[in-house]
Amino acid sequence: MNSSRNSDLILSIFSDARTVFSLNDIAMLIGESDFKKLNERLNYYVRKGKLLRPRKGVYVKPNYNPEELVCLLYTPSYISLEYVLQKAGVVFQYDERITAVSYLSRSIDIEGRTCAYRKIKGEILIVTQGISQIGNVNIATPERAFLDILYLNATYYFDNLNSLDKNLITKLLPIYNSKTLTARVKKLLAND
């Protein structure tokens, strides 16, 4: 193996702000069109412990951001639901899963961590209102996560709605185009 090409490859990966890469990402990063050759070079770094490969075609730096991995595995997707609501203090029940919404429902385990995806309608998924992009992570605001979970689970119980911005919830409601959800939200916010 050409060591200067390999050091350029690893230098390019470690110089990049991302911590998670698809094979395509790396090919574009270094301008490589021979995927077979690139895969061999990457596998060399996996064997040497410089990179990890949690899934086929996905490479990560050893100290990768698991939230970034969740967003890359199934695209489009964004982190939402219990994970966001727990961080915002809206639900108190501890759940170590990283939860996201996507075009499919699936639960996968990667290196002892569970990533749970829930399917939501495409026309809701593609609306970026109420979703922040922090680096390479797409994550719902607590208000969007609140609406996502109520849309998917009508009887979900919330511990504390005080931290939510009720005006923002009202602005985000039209995304779901659901009279039932709107009535449910109004009732929940009135009782709070």
Residues 6+ apart with CB under 8 A from 60: 19, 20, 21, 51, 52, 53, 54, 69
Q: In Å, what is the CA distance from 177 to each residue of 68, 172, 187? A: 29, 10, 17
Looking at this protein, which amino acid is placed at residue 76? P
Q: What is the pLDDT of residues 149-187, one digit of tens each?
A: 999 999 999 999 999 999 999 999 999 999 999 999 999
The answer on pLDDT for 3 being more than 60 is no
Residue 1: per-residue pLDDT:
46
Read off the pLDDT band of 190 (50, 70, 90): confident
Q: What is the pLDDT of residues 78-110, one digit of tens each?
A: 999 999 999 999 999 999 999 999 999 999 999
**Is 75 within 8 Å of 143 (Cβ atoms)?**
no
**Residue for token pair 């699936």:** 106
The answer on pLDDT for 2 being more than 70 is no
Report the side by side order of strands in the sheet with 20-22: 20-22, 58-60, 52-55
